[in-house]
Amino acid sequence: MIGTATKEPWKATVLTLFEEMFPGSLGLSLAGQGLQDGIWRLETLDIRSFASDKYRSVDDAPFGGGPGMVMRADIVDVAIEKIKVQNPGRPLIYLSPRGRPLEQKRVRELAAGPGLSLLCGRYEGIDERLQQVHEIQEVSLGDFILSGGEPAAIALIDACVRLLPGIMGSVASGVEESFERGLLEYPHYTRPQAWRGMEVPKVLLSGNHAKIRDWRKSQSEELTKERRPDLWSRYVKKF
């Protein structure tokens, strides 16, 4: 069982310039309760603490000119080396718009391991030479730009933590959600049965579990086909 003396809790280590952004939403709801219960651990490391000047500078102007600043290789390198020694064998992930899109399959792999280390970039990003020295995996949450890697790190950690044993009350709840079966999730309804002239689909009130299961599957398929043709194409190829 996770959290016992026989196995260390799943652990996320975050390299950041803004430690105060954590735990943020990770301290609330299911993730927050799991953190309190010791099912998982969160560690932050201030990159500025490795700066050598009195201004705690971590960035400089890019060679070749251009806008913005770049996080210096020599300073970030020391921070990375420290977490490698403390957490050997764990993947180091850099949140970046140019990274590979994050998918649920990768989230499951990360959640099944001992944890992960996350490097949160700022400004124009990190010096490219860091990629050549360290085995850094670049991951993107989508085709959009954030002000820094911290919000993306929180989202990635949350996605992993909710899969840990003891976090979610129902295993079936997690299995039936979007992307777990390669399809978007079916629609949900609750009380009141009639609202603003709209009724809950009769099949959901029938008590016939086989028909309900078939309806939900067909709804998932139609939604996926309409909204995510890329997912639908991959789903169809499996059968």
pLDDT at 7: 77
The pLDDT assigned to 39 comes to 97
> What is the distance between the alpha carbons of residues 14 and 32, in angstroms, rounded to a whole number?
17
Per-residue model confidence (pLDDT) at position 172:
45
Count the neighbouring beta carbons within 10 Å of the beta carbon of residue 46.
17
pLDDT of 4: 41
CA distance readout (Å), 8 to 81, 102, 164, 166, 218:
21, 26, 13, 14, 42
From residue 17, give the alpha-carbon distance in Å to each of 20, 61, 86, 117, 221: 9, 18, 19, 15, 43
Strands 10-16 and 40-46: parallel
Phi, psi of 24 (to 5 degrees): 55, -135
Domains of the chain from N-terminus onward = 10-161 (3.40.1280.10), 171-237 (1.10.1270.20)
pLDDT at 5: 46
* pLDDT score, position 6: 53
Contacts of 235 (CB under 8 A, 6+ apart): 182, 183, 221, 224
What's residue 181's pLDDT?
Answer: 79
Instruction: Classify 146 as helix, strand or coil.
Output: coil
Under-70 pLDDT residues of the chain: 1-6, 170-180, 239
